[in-house]
Amino acid sequence: MEKKIRIEDVKALLTAIEDLIEIKLLIRSIVPTYTLDVNLKEKFISLLKSLQNKLQPLFSEYLTKEILIKTNNSAEQIKNEILKLLTSDNIALISANSSKKKLKSLGVDSRRLIVTGGPIFVNEMC
């Protein structure tokens, strides 16, 4: 069944993208401490509220319960597949320590996880 996106929904999405870009620029301005002063905090919260106001109606309109349940089941299937792979004799090469922590919290043996600490290229392994 086809569904046409309303022009006001397209406009809401495009302005939401502009808000996200503004948030990205705000975050870039506070690197590396990520500390928000009073003015930046107000601006950040205002942008988040703006995003919510623009996107929440779209979520309600387009994300039906069936779609959300299907997405959740799909994520669960992917998680189970990853766990099945890593509980055998396989070893995973991952780039971030946070990924290792997440996998460990899911029950993966940490001895099966090698963290590179960043991107790794084939020529670096030879």
pLDDT digits (tens, 9 = 90+) for 11-34: 999 999 999 999 999 999 998 899
**What is the model's pLDDT at position 93?**
83
Helix and strand totals (H; E) in the chain: 5, 2
Query: Are residues 51 and 19 part of one domain?
Result: yes
**pTM for this model (two decimals):** 0.52
Q: Which domain holds residue 14?
A: 7-63
Domain end call among 18, 45, 63? 63
Any domain includes 2: no
Structure tokens at 60: 């309600």
The sign of the dihedral angle between the CA atoms of 16, 52, 78, 125 is positive
**What is the model's pLDDT at position 51?**
95
Task: Fill in the DSSP letter of residue 97.
Answer: H
pLDDT digits (tens, 9 = 90+) for 55-74: 998 888 777 666 656 666 67
Give the pLDDT mean for 113-118: 83
Domain end call among 45, 63, 81? 63
**What is the model's pLDDT at position 4?**
86
Number of domains present in the structure of the chain: 2
